[in-house]
Amino acid sequence: MAPSKRSAEGSSSNREATFGPSRRVEAAALDSRNGRLPHGTRAAAFLDRDGVLSDQTAFVNRPEDFNLLPGAAAAVARLNRAGIPVVVITNQGGIALGYLTEDTLASIHERMAELLAAEGAHADGVYFCPHLLNATVTRYLRECSCRKPGTGMLEKARDDLGLDLRKSILVGDATTDILAGIRAGCRTILVRTGYAGKDGKAAAEPDRVAADLSEAVSIILDEFIPAATSSGQSKAT
């Protein structure tokens, strides 16, 4: 899970934020538009964090604030067994407002990894956007391509992990998640956990609606990526 390591996500001191294990997401998005980065062929499941994997609480600013939703780890494990890369993409504007640092976020994601691992699951990549136009921490004050509904995090994961966004699926609880998936060319599933699509921030219609991540994974495995569960792999149940 290299993209989620503390050194990969970036430190809050003396350098700009990074997203995943290499270059800035804006640079990766620019290079991909210029045709300089190879695109892969693998379908992935992109998962929003809060409201899909974990409780949609007002603040997740410390590791102890983070808790997985019931059944979330088991759902991720089903994707793992099917050989489908799982990528977490999360807006983290609290960093821009000074509520937490990138190092603290890394510790939160370490706890997420531990909770997933306890049930035999893992994420193949974790990407976050710390930017806001109303940031109080000036180094994060910018208009960026990575904050959903922007597509920068998906494009960065595509280039890092060799993914095909047109074959991939995004699962989210907010309309901004769904719009990001649509803009990136993914199929989309809205879950009724978290915001349940009632955030009112974007006009975006998902391809499917599911009660929770477990039902969304069933849709992915049974309908959206049948090849991933039938070409030399046993279907996860």
Per-residue model confidence as pLDDT tens digits over 63-111? 999 999 999 999 999 999 999 999 999 999 999 999 999 999 999 999 9
Q: Token pair for residue 167?
A: 């074959």
pTM of this structure:
0.82
Residue 35 located in a structural domain: no
pLDDT for the residue 237: 52
Long-range CB contacts (< 8 A, 24+ apart) of 53-58? 53/88, 53/112, 53/213, 54/112, 56/173, 56/193, 56/194, 56/195
Positions annotated as catalytic residues are 48, 50
Residue 204 located in a structural domain: yes
Residue 73 three-state SS:
helix
Residue 26 located in a structural domain: no
CA distance readout (Å), 141 to 39, 58, 157, 211: 30, 22, 23, 36
| Rounded Cα–Cα distance for residues 127 and 11 (Å) | 14
Q: Say if residue 149 is preceded by a cis peptide, omega within 30 of 0.
A: yes
| Rounded Cα–Cα distance for residues 92 and 113 (Å) | 17
Residue 106 located in a structural domain: yes
Q: Report the candidate in 43, 3, 92, 11 with the shortest Cα–Cα distance to residue 225.
A: 43
| Rounded Cα–Cα distance for residues 9 and 48 (Å) | 17
Quote the number of domains for the chain: 1
Model pLDDT for residues 161-210, shown as the tens digit of each residue? 999 999 999 999 999 999 999 999 999 999 999 999 999 999 999 999 99
- Strand boundaries in the chain, DSSP class E: 45-48, 86-91, 125-129, 169-172, 187-191, 208-210
Residue 17 located in a structural domain: no
Arithmetic mean of pLDDT, 41-51: 96
Residue 102 located in a structural domain: yes
Arithmetic mean of pLDDT, 204-220: 98
pLDDT for the residue 134: 95
Residue 23 located in a structural domain: no
Q: Which residue segment(s) compose the domain that 141 sits in?
A: 45-229
In 10 A of CB 30, how many CB atoms? 15
| Rounded Cα–Cα distance for residues 16 and 81 (Å) | 36
Residue 28 located in a structural domain: no
CATH number at 90 reads: 3.40.50.1000
